[in-house]
Amino acid sequence: MAAHSGKGNYRARTRVVVAGRDPAAQHGFVNMPAFRGSTVIYPTMDDLMHRRGRFSYGTRGTPTTEALESAWSDLAGAAGTVLVPSGLAACVLALMSCLKAGDHLLVTDSVYRPTRNFCDTVLRRFGVETTYYDPLIGSGIAALMKPSTKVVFTEAPGSQTFEVQDIPTLSEAAHAHGAALIMDNTWATPFFFPPHERGVDIAVEAGTKYLGGHSDLLLGLVSANAEYWPRLREAFDSMAICAGPEDVYLALRGLRTMRLRLAEQERAGIEMARYLEKRPEVKKVLHPALPSFEGHTIWKRDFLGASGLFSIVLHPVAAGAVAAMLDGLKLFAMGYSWGGFESLIVPFDCKAYRTATRFEPGGPCLRLQIGLEDVEDLKADLDAGFARMNAAAKAA
Ligand SMILES: *Cc1c(COP(=O)(O)O)cnc(C)c1O
């Protein structure tokens, strides 16, 4: 097997298998090992003085990081990719690579909350002003642009609430203003939303989620198109926020099955969403693939699939009754993060921190991550949970 950049003439399924692999370079073994290293030794003084060689120092990359970076660039259609220690670090690096003191930043009101926290604390301290916008603003974003607006930061669908944003329209508006469009693409991944083809300049992925796929690693990936790649690479090299070798190794392993897991989680997620839509306790299901969801049309136009994460709004019920449901679940565990093989459920409420929009769902909200269990077992777990909730509501 020859070394693969992954591109070749292969179709997407094949590219996932071959991308970033070169067995001949590792004595025939199928997988790239986890290179651990700081020092890289140079054969001569002249080579050292000129930093001549494929690798120069551990923070600048290893064969392991290069394998995942090149594979991800192929899949995402990017000019280049860098790997950082977490998804949040990826959001931070993307912003830092494009902003300076005095700049203005537009961020979706439905953004992942720790990203909002970074904008409101560190970025503010560094003299960057953030304005939050309604995730469904579309072309109206142009009215929020100031002469100093340098970045539009989007995430689609929105964290927890799943508003589907019109990315091509945001891209057009940002570019007409000379600003960059940064997108947190963690939910769809490049398999279900090829970010750079759709006008995104810098795309962020929490590899912690579907790429890792097993809830046992932390990783962030930041990819850029040709225009933004030099400044992203410069920010990465100057800050050296580099990912650990074991996590990169595990992510490469996860990559080979990511498409299969996503296909299964898409199917199971839609089936669970349809089941929940029919439960009398459920007021609304927030899942972009359901025709009843308001972002469905844009999702259908721009996305190639849906992952297994969505939310539901319950009819008004006491918090104690919701706790009775969640506390007794056997398959759905309560915990943050998602994208692994196991199902998860968490209650949420965005009311306290949204600033551009009012979040009034009209009942308690739950976010579900559908894992790889049999959906009939998952439905039975929730059926029993709803029974506990109804009994607790009646007793109160
Ligand atoms: C989880 C998540 C992140 C952060 O990833 P970590 O690796 O947990 O830091 C960023 N964006 C989105 C949308 C996420 O869901």
| Entry field: residues in the chain | 396
Whether residue 91 contacts residue 250, with contact meaning beta carbons closer than 8 Å, is answered with no
pLDDT at 11: 87
pLDDT at 383 over 90: yes
8 Å CB contact between 81 and 204:
no
87 touches ligand 1 (CB under 6 Å): yes
Q: What is the model's pLDDT at position 3? A: 59
- Do 54 and 188 fall into the same domain? yes
What are 223's strand-pairing partners?
Answer: 81, 203
Distance between Cα 396 and ligand 1 center (Å)? 37
Note the pLDDT of residue 8. Answer: 63
Residue 168 has pLDDT above 90, yes or no: yes
Q: What is the mean pLDDT of residues 359-363?
A: 94
The CATH code of the domain that includes 52 is 3.40.640.10
The atom number, within ligand 1, closest to the CA of 336 reads: 1
78 and 162 within one domain? yes
Over residues 251-271, mean pLDDT: 97
Q: Are residues 230 and 336 in the same domain?
A: no
Domain of 233? 12-254
Distance, CA of 84 to CA of 69 (rounded, Å) = 11
- Confidence at residue 396, expressed as pLDDT on a 0 to 100 scale: 83
Say whether pLDDT at 5 is over 80: no
Give domain status of residue 7, yes or no: no
pTM reported for the whole predicted model:
0.96
236 and 273 belong to one structural domain: no
Q: Which atom of ligand 1 is nearest to the CA of 208?
A: 7
What letters, b where the CB count within 10 A reaches 16 and e where it falls short, cover 170-191? bbbbbeebebbbbbbbbbbbbb
CA distance 271 to 371: 12
208 lines ligand 1 (CB under 6 A): yes
| pLDDT (tens digit per residue) in 314-348 | 999 999 999 999 999 999 999 999 999 999 999 99
- Are 114 and 192 within one domain? yes
Q: Name the pLDDT band for 170 (thresholds 50, 70, 90).
A: very high
Ligand 1 centroid vs 312 CA: distance in angstroms?
20
Q: How confident is the model at residue 12 (pLDDT cuts 50, 70, 90)?
A: confident
Rounded to the nearest integer, the mean pLDDT of the chain is 96
Dihedral sign for Cα 105, 108, 111, 113, please. Answer: positive
Residues 191-223: pLDDT tens digits? 999 999 999 999 999 999 999 999 999 999 999
Q: DSSP string covering 178-212, please?
A: T-EEEEE-TTTHHHH--TGGGT-SEEEEETTTTTT
**In this structure, are 230 and 286 located in the same domain?**
no
Q: Is residue 6 situated within a structural domain?
A: no
- Binding site membership of 97 for ligand 1 (Cβ less than 6 Å): no
What's the domain count of the chain?
A: 2
Ligand 1 contact via 205 beta carbon (within 6 Å):
no
Residue bearing the CA closest to ligand 1, atom 10 = 87
Residue 6 has pLDDT above 70, yes or no: no
Give DSSP secondary structure letters for 106-143: EEETTS-HHHHHHIIIIIHHTT-EEEEE-TT-GGGGGG
- Is 143 contained in some domain? yes
Element (H, E) at 223: strand 220-224
* R_g over Cα of the chain: 22
User: Tens digit of pLDDT for each residue in 112-155?
Assistant: 999 999 999 999 999 999 999 999 999 999 999 999 999 999 99
Ligand 1 test: best mutation among 209, 217, 219, 346, most atoms within 8 Å of CB?
Answer: 209
Residue 4 reports pLDDT greater than 80: no
Give 333's DSSP letter: B
What is the per-residue pLDDT across 300-319, written as a single tens digit (0 to 9) for each? 999 999 999 999 999 999 99
CA-CA distance, 155 to 27, in Å (whole number)? Answer: 42
Domain boundary among 231, 254, 277: 254
**Which of 237, 254, 271 is at the close of a domain?**
254
State whether 28 and 146 are in the same domain. yes
Which domain CATH number covers 283? Answer: 3.90.1150.10
Residue 4 resides in a domain: no
Cα distances (angstroms) measured from residue 209 to each of 159, 169, 205, 226: 13, 27, 9, 26
Q: What distance in angstroms lies between residue 51's CA and the mean position of ligand 1's atoms? A: 35
pLDDT value at residue 13: 86
